[in-house]
A and B are shown apart, each in its own frame.
Chain A
Amino acid sequence: KRKINFWMKNVSKKMEITVSEAEKRTGRNAMNMQETYTAYLIETRAVESQNEGQCSPVDSLWRRYSEFELLRNYLLVTYPHIVVPPLPEKRADFVWHKLSADNMDPDFVERRRIGLENFLLRVASHPVLCQDKIFYSFLTQEGGWKEMVNETGFQLKADSRLKALNATFRVKNPDKRFTELKHYSDELQSVISHLLRVRARVADRLYGVYKVHGNYGRVFSEWSAIEKEMGDGLQSAGHHMDVYAASIDDILEEEEHYADQLKEYLFYAEALRAVCRKHELMQYDLEMAAQDLTSKKQQCEELATGTMRTFSLKGMTSKLFGQETPEQREAKIKILEEQIQEGEEQLKSKNLEGRDFVKSAWADIERFKEQKNRDLKEALISYAVMQISMCKKGIQVWTNAKECFSKM
């Protein structure tokens, strides 16, 4: 179990965080129907900086997956410029045949427990996110946390999907860097998905190869029964074939860990994309506001000078149904001027907002890139190490078998 100390700035103390257990529960859901779910035990402990050995009391509480999701959604909305760490997959995906796609499967639950712990550690190690009070309460406050989150009203701040989609297609001056980044995150998602799919098939086939060798064990044993001098050698070689066949289970279990590391970055790519989308949205918003301001200014000008440079319904109707009185026109101009002023302020603040967003987003993106490169390198190294270990085991087994054969 990984226990990492985190400096939680807002509470000014170091904390150890683990997700130590998983438990099946039954309860009633929102529709008052019985359901089974898994609850995870989060344990936290404040660590006195100097004495690692000193044991403070461990606080713990149980959370289920949906609460983790709620936390993450809150963070996504509240920190749109941050690449928010992803959760482990909701449903088992990219499975090869031996793995169960059942959410209740103990192996899946175990891997999810590790994934959830990883999520918490990622958040706690993020310079910005770790300071969030809701996050802190998630770790420490059992009751009433859900209500607390909902009270923040973050759902209202969430951008609608439709709006986001709209923005994607209609932004006129997208930031080139964000466009590239979005493209990268799409490609990354695609390539990692492909990799995970093929890896699952590779695992399947490799499993088959190893397991069929187990048949040698049986037939050598049977054959040895009718042989005299050859018998011993065959029998013991058969045993090694059994060992060989059995060894694949551990090998592939370890490889799942590698797959999980890749999956984290598959989901991270989604988070990256979310930041790009947010920028698009803001940009779109900005452009719309600017456009709106321009048109209002124009309207004002037209009213003031009495010229109609652009076609407007009002202009048509006034032509058809008679001009407005100068008082009416004055009133309109005044309203417009107010709106223009408002608009200009808004535009200014939006611009500022936009620049701030870009700045902080890019800072986090840079941080993310470093983290990604580090983590993936580590993952590749550990994958290579796994392969080396597998090769060595193979050499060992076949060398043993060869020795048995030599004694035939």
Chain B
Amino acid sequence: MDLPAEEEQPLYSQRPEWADVVPLEQYESVAPLAPIFYTDEYRDATNYFRGIVKSDEMSPRVLELTENIIRQNPGHYSAWQYRYKTLMALKSPLDDELQLMDELAIKHLKTYQVWHHRRLLVQQTRNPGPELEFIANSLQVDTKNYHTWSYRQWILAYFNDDALWSHELDFVEKMLESDVRNNSAWHHRFFVVFQSGVRNGDEDRDAVVRRELAFVKERIAIAPNNASAWNYLRGVLDHAKMPYCELQAFVLPYSLPQPPLDTPPEVVDLESPLPSKDAQLPCVAAVEFMADIHEAAGGGDLVKATELWKSLANEHDTIRKRYWEFRIAESLKTKSAGDG
């Protein structure tokens, strides 16, 4: 049963069943600089923790003590470490421990140690399925929690089970539907699609790349000023070693101002979804992309690249002026070095 934190428990120093343990003060002979003003409960619990660590005790009451400490200070990594060793020594039922961890997580214990403890437990239980569900629930509240996302990636990579992988694309799509700008979700997608080996059904890597390009283009069309989507697009092209110029037809409209309202509509090109009418254009990432295309083409196209970089430096992305001017200077160096 869950013991409410508010329920008054006597201090360990007042509990007869703890009388055999010698509590140890934190600082014995030193008056420390920068002391922390501990509560009586915390000082008492940690004094007893130091006591049982010294005697190397691993017993059920140690589980109670370490739980007490981590409720007061979830960052106390030594208490977590000792708790884990005790669980192993006692051969405690780890599913119960995971259930306790679920409750602690609900009470907003958001530190890294909570997640790492789960990782240690699931390595023992070898039952990762419920973890994915737990992670998904966690991410509803805290959509970009770094520890949560990297724990999910670790579960998938470590167990490397097709059944676990099979729902991931759906999961990422749901997260991106909820917020197309969630960079953690985009990173997760790249991990699932390109960095975890080849699974059954995905052997046609060209088809996978085409699918991903179509996916990211659709998302750019909805909200073009989204650095996550453009970084993903670049990532896919770099990974597939595809030249950026293959996306020129798609990117071009995003690098130009919105056409006047009376412009006749374009013929719909499924390969090149157009920006929504509400998109704020030109979009900086698209201008940069076009400049990269022109730079790669070289020769006379370098002038076009330079013009685009100048527009970024002086108008659209002025905070990065120095970087855009660096790109201009570098392209001129290559030109003079490379031209025959």
Q: Say if A and B assemble together.
A: no
User: Residues on B close to A: CB < 8 A?
Assistant: none
Query: Which residues does A use to contact B, with CB under 8 Å?
Result: none
